[in-house]
Structure 1
């Protein structure tokens, strides 16, 4: 018997939602924010994927041997932790400048952030989550 161990990063973007874990296209369980879980599986070639709503991670193909444990780290998209605070800060800055300085152009600074989010929710939806194999020594 082989094992796939997943550790989910602690993040606030998707804190309230569990990721669904798929091995070879079959859902084997879910993983909550900051949680580590092990999923027993058979020896051989497997494809591991994490999903949340209509978004997912790229598929990872692994070869497992008898009594082998493969370790993975799963989390949100690369810049997710800093994207929301920056976006909120720019929106607050826009409202302050537009009310007190009659400056209405700061909203254009938020446009690239919305375009990046739009990308991850549409075309890049299979890259919304990161899934990478890690070495544990």
Structure 2
């Protein structure tokens, strides 16, 4: 199954920096805004995580079903204002980056 992961421009924060992308705890790419990573994964459960310094998305689990041929996931930085940025940098460090799965032109949280 083909997996495509895209970093989107979700906030003014960290626009010039790349995020480290991990699949199944293995670093697979450094992505800047607008860049994509594609790979092929077997059917089953997998984890995905993005990191920037000490902040991250936390490990997110997703499942690839045998009926799926392609999965598209987007991610970006959550903070949208200075107060939110400070919260996510010091308290919500594992929610600084968020993933969403793109399905039929709709975005759904990756759960």
> Smaller-chain TM-score range?
0.7 to 0.9
What is the CA distance between 1:46 and its match in structure 2? 0.3
Aligned to 1:5: 4
TM-score, with length taken from structure 2: 0.78
Aligned to 1:63: 63
Higher helix proportion: 1
What are the equivalent positions in structure 2 for 1:35-74 lying under 5 Å apart? 35-65=35-65, 68-74=69-75
Aligned to 1:17: 17
Structure 2 Cα separation of the partners of residues 50 and 24 of structure 1: 11
What is the CA distance between 1:20 and its match in structure 2? 0.9
What are structure 1's unaligned runs of at least 5 residues?
Answer: 85-112
1:26-50 CA deviation, whole Å, 9 max, x = no partner? 1111211122221222332101111
What are structure 2's unaligned runs of at least 5 residues?
Answer: 106-111
TM-score, with length taken from structure 1: 0.65
Aligned to 1:119: 87
Aligned to 1:32: 32
Higher strand proportion: 2
Which has the larger Rg?
Answer: 1
What is the CA distance between 1:62 and its match in structure 2? 1.5
What is the CA distance between 1:4 and its match in structure 2? 2.0
Structure 2 Cα separation of the partners of residues 26 and 55 of structure 1: 17
